[in-house]
């Protein structure tokens, strides 16, 4: 129980949940009409520790409640439901998915052709080597872009860029290493260095800051 309480005051919670709610609360205080919530604006001028403590506790409470709905906010931004779950959006993303696949195939064919020419030539020139290397770099750049933005299977394409990035992140280990991320990740967490784990936690808290910042900004 106490370990769970400490997580509600650590850096990921402060950055990903408390900070968005605090910023939304401050914006709400300063933009609320004077006749609507006059006591809130007086709060910024008060020196009463009790009032400030109440304000901080209220923000902290809303931050805790925000953690409960965080999963569904992610799902909405990924396009599983809500206004972002649009057939037109999905169609556009699928078309972009196929466009990149075709570009990758063309780039691979071009590189393979130059590589074969390089192999068949007894004394290839420096220009041929540069052309082959350039074609290979272009192919790798397209492949990297595709794997970063989209899943391999078109049936997993989501209608939003955020959703496709999440799915691509989940499917990348399977494409590159042949390992299912959802299955192996809990085991890897026990073996990865603490510094690397901390960097992953920081990255996750930054994404939470973006997601929850968007969520708390809606009513503001």
Q: Which residues contact 169 (CB under 8 A, 6 or more apart)?
A: 181
Question: Cα–Cα distances in Å, from 175 out to 16, 24, 49, 120, 181?
Answer: 30, 40, 55, 31, 10
Residue whose structure tokens are 């997580």? 7
What is the DSSP code string of 166-187? HHHHHHHHHHHHS--HHHHHHH
Give the C-alpha separation, 218 to 214, whole Å: 7
Cα separation, 170 vs 50, in Å, equals: 46
Sign of the Cα torsion 112, 155, 203, 19 reads: positive
List, as own/partner pairs, every contact residues 6-10 make where C-beta atoms lie below 8 angstroms and the sequence separation is at least 24, other chains included: 8/60, 8/63, 8/64
Using 50, 70 and 90 to split pLDDT, how confident is the model at 171?
confident
Comparison of pLDDT for 70 and 90, the residue scoring more:
90
0.85 cut: is pTM over it?
Answer: no
pLDDT at 1 over 80: no
What is the residue extent of each domain of the chain?
Answer: 2-76, 86-189
Mean pLDDT of 52-76: 85
The pLDDT confidence band at residue 44, using thresholds 50, 70 and 90, is low
3-class secondary-structure state, position 157: coil
Residue 3: its pLDDT value, please?
A: 44
**Side-chain half-sphere exposure of 62, counting CA atoms within 13 A:** 17
More confident of the two residues 28 and 90: 90
- Joined tokens for residue 97: 């998915």
What is the Cα–Cα distance from 62 to 94, expressed in whole angstroms? 38
Nearby residues of 126 by Cβ (< 8 Å), 6 or more positions away: none
């Amino acid at each position: 129980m106490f370990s769970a309480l400490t997580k509600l005051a650590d850096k990921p919670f402060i950055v990903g949940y408390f900070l968005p709610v605090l910023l939304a609360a401050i914006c709400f205080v300063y933009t609320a009409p004077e006749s609507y919530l006059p006591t809130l604006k007086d709060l910024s001028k008060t020196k009463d520790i009790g009032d400030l403590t109440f304000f901080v506790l209220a923000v902290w409470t809303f931050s805790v409640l925000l953690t409960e709905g965080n999963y569904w906010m992610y799902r909405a931004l990924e396009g599983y439901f809500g206004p972002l779950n649009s057939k037109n959006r999905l169609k556009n993303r699928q078309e972009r998915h196929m466009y990149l696949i075709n570009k990758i195939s063309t780039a691979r064919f071009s590189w393979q052709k130059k590589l074969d020419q390089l192999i068949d030539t007894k004394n290839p020139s420096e220009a041929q080597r540069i052309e082959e290397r350039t074609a290979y770099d272009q192919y790798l750049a397209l492949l990297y872009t595709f794997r970063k933005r989209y899943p391999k299977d078109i049936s997993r394409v989501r209608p939003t860029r955020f959703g496709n990035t999440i799915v691509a992140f989940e499917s990348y280990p399977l494409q590159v290493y042949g390992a299912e991320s959802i299955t192996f990740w809990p085991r890897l967490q026990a073996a990865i260095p603490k510094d690397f784990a901390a960097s992953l936690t920081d990255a996750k808290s930054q994404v939470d800051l973006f997601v929850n910042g968007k969520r708390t900004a809606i009513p503001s």
